[in-house]
Amino acid sequence: MKILIPSITALIVAGVLQSAYAADYNPVTDERLTNPEPENWLNWRGNYAGWGHSPLKQITAENVKDLVPVWSYSTGVTEGHQAPPMVNDGMMYVSTPQNQVIALDAATGVEIWRYVRELPEDLFQLHPTNRGVALYGDKVYMATLDAGVVALDAKTGEVVWDVLVGDYADGYYSTLSTLAAKGQIITGVSGGEFGIRGYVTALDAETGKETWRTYTIPGPGEAGHETWKGDSWKTGGGSVWMEPNYDAENGILYVGTGNGGPWMPDTRPGDNLYTTSVIGVNIDSGDITGHHQYHWNDAWDWDEVSAPLLIPIERDGKKIDALVHAGRNGYIWTMEYDKTGHIDFVEAHKYVIQDAFASIDPESGRPTYNEARTPGTGKTVTFCPSLWGGKDWPMEAYNPDTGLIYIPSQENLCSEMGGVPLDERESGELYIGVPIDVILSSLRFHEDVDTSKPVPIGKLQAWDMNKGEMVWSHDFNDTPYWGPILSTGGNLVFSGGTNDRKFRAFDAANGDLLWEYPTNSGITAAPSSFEVDGVQYIAVQSGWGVDAERMQGLLKDMLPAGRVPDVPQGGVIWVFALKGQ
Partner 1 sequence: MSKKIDDERSIVDRDPANTSSSVLQDRRTILKAGAVLVSGATLDLSGNPAYAESSAKSDSAAKLPPQPGDRIQIAKGELKNQFIKTDSLEVNAIGVEAFPYDPKTEVLRRKNRLNRLVVLRLDPEEMDEATREKSADGLVAYSAMCTHRNCTIQSWKQEERRLRCHCHLSEFAALSEGSVMSGPARKQLPMVPIGTDDEGYIVALDGFTRKPGGAKK
545 near partner 1, rule: CB under 8 A? yes
Site string for partner 1, 247-276 (x = CB under 8 A): ------------------------------
Query: How far apart, in whole angstroms, are the C-alpha atoms of residue 325 and residue 348?
Result: 10
**Min CB(254)–partner 1 separation in Å:** 30
Residues 6+ apart with CB under 8 A from 168: 120, 123, 124, 145, 146, 147, 428
Cα(330)–Cα(326) distance, integer angstroms: 7
In the set 146, 162, 298, 301, the catalytic residue is: 301
Residues 439-458 that bind partner 1 (CB under 8 A): 439-440
> How many C-beta atoms surround the C-beta of residue 132 within 10 A?
30
Rounded to whole angstroms, the Cα distance separating 119 from 350 reads 42
Closer residue to partner 1 in complex, CB, 249/424? 424
Total binding residues toward partner 1, as defined by CB under 8 A = 31
Q: Which of 77, 147, 346, 443 binds partner 1 (CB under 8 A)?
A: 77
Check residue 396 and report its DSSP letter. P
In the complex with partner 1, which residue's Cβ is closer, 230 or 421? 421
Q: Which of 15, 285, 435, 447 binds partner 1 (CB under 8 A)?
A: 435
Of the candidates 39, 79, 162, 271, which one interacts with partner 1 according to CB under 8 A?
79
CB atoms within 10 A of CB 108: 12
Q: Active site includes 301?
A: yes
Question: Does 436 sit near partner 1 (CB under 8 A)?
Answer: yes
Minimum distance of partner 1 from residue 123's CB (angstroms): 6
572 touching partner 1, by CB under 8 A: no
For partner 1, which is the closer residue by CB, 15 or 568? 568
Rank residues 128 and 327 by Cβ distance to partner 1 and give the closer one: 128
Nearer to partner 1, 25 or 124 (CB): 124
Which stretches does DSSP call E strand in 98-147?
100-105, 111-116, 134-136, 139-144
Q: What whole-number distance in Å separates Cα of residue 215 and Cα of residue 471?
A: 38
Among 2, 225, 349, 550, binds partner 1 (CB under 8 A): 550
* Touching partner 1, residues 394-423 (CB under 8 A): 423
Q: Which is nearer to partner 1, 225 or 550 (CB)?
A: 550
Closest contact distance (angstroms) between CB of 437 and partner 1 is 5
- When binding is defined by CB under 8 A, the residue of 130, 412, 519, 569 that contacts partner 1 is 569
At position 273, the amino acid (one-letter code) is L
Give bridge partners of residue 53 from the DSSP assignment: 487
- Choosing from 47, 78, 374, 442, the residue that interacts with partner 1 (CB under 8 A) is 78
Please name which of 319, 177, 195 lies closest in space to residue 255, comparing C-alpha atoms: 177
Report if residue 561 touches partner 1, rule: CB under 8 A.
no
Closest approach of Cβ 147 to partner 1, in Å? 15
535 scored as a contact of partner 1 (CB under 8 A)? no
Stretch that binds partner 1, among 74-82, 225-233, 248-256, 374-382 (CB under 8 A): 74-82
| 430 lines the binding site for partner 1 (CB under 8 A) | yes
Interface with partner 1, residue 507, by CB under 8 A: no
Nearest to 342 by CA among 248, 250, 222: 250
Between 309 and 413, name the residue whose CB sits nearer to partner 1: 413
User: What CA–CA distances, in Å, run from 516 to 474, 476, 478, 504, 505?
Assistant: 14, 13, 18, 4, 6
Rounded CA gap, 311 and 334, in Å?
10
Residue 479 in contact with partner 1, rule: CB under 8 A: no
Is it true that the peptide bond before 385 is cis, omega within 30 degrees of 0? yes
> Which of 431, 504, 485, 535 is closest to 195 using CA atoms?
431
Q: Which is nearer to partner 1, 125 or 477 (CB)?
A: 125
* Number of residues written out for the chain: 581
Q: Does 553 bind partner 1 (CB under 8 A)?
A: yes
Pick 121 or 316: Cβ nearer partner 1: 121
Of 66 and 426, which CB lies nearer to partner 1 in the complex structure?
426
- 557 is a contact residue toward partner 1 (CB under 8 A): no
The mark string for 114-143 relative to partner 1 (x by CB under 8 A, - otherwise) is --x-xx-xxxxxx-x---------------
CA nearest neighbour of 2 among 234, 261, 136, 185:
185
**Does residue 426 belong to the site contacting partner 1 (CB under 8 A)?**
yes
Residue 438: CB partners within 8 Å, gap ≥ 6? 380, 417, 418
Long-range contacts of 360-365 (CB under 8 A, 24+ apart): 360/331, 365/292, 365/294, 365/333, 365/335
| N-terminal to C-terminal alpha carbon distance within the chain | 51
Q: How many helices and strands (H and E) does the chain possess? A: 4, 38
Gap between the Cα atoms of 371 and 357, Å rounded: 9
The answer to whether residue 4 forms part of the interface with partner 1 (CB under 8 A) is: no
- Residue 549 touching partner 1 (CB under 8 A): yes
- In the complex, the smallest distance separating the C-beta of residue 466 from partner 1, rounded to whole angstroms, is 42
Report, as residue numbers or ranges, the catalytic residues.
301
Residue ranges that bind partner 1, judged by CB under 8 A: 77-79, 98, 116, 118-119, 121-126, 128, 169, 423, 426, 428-430, 435-437, 439-440, 545-546, 549-550, 553, 569
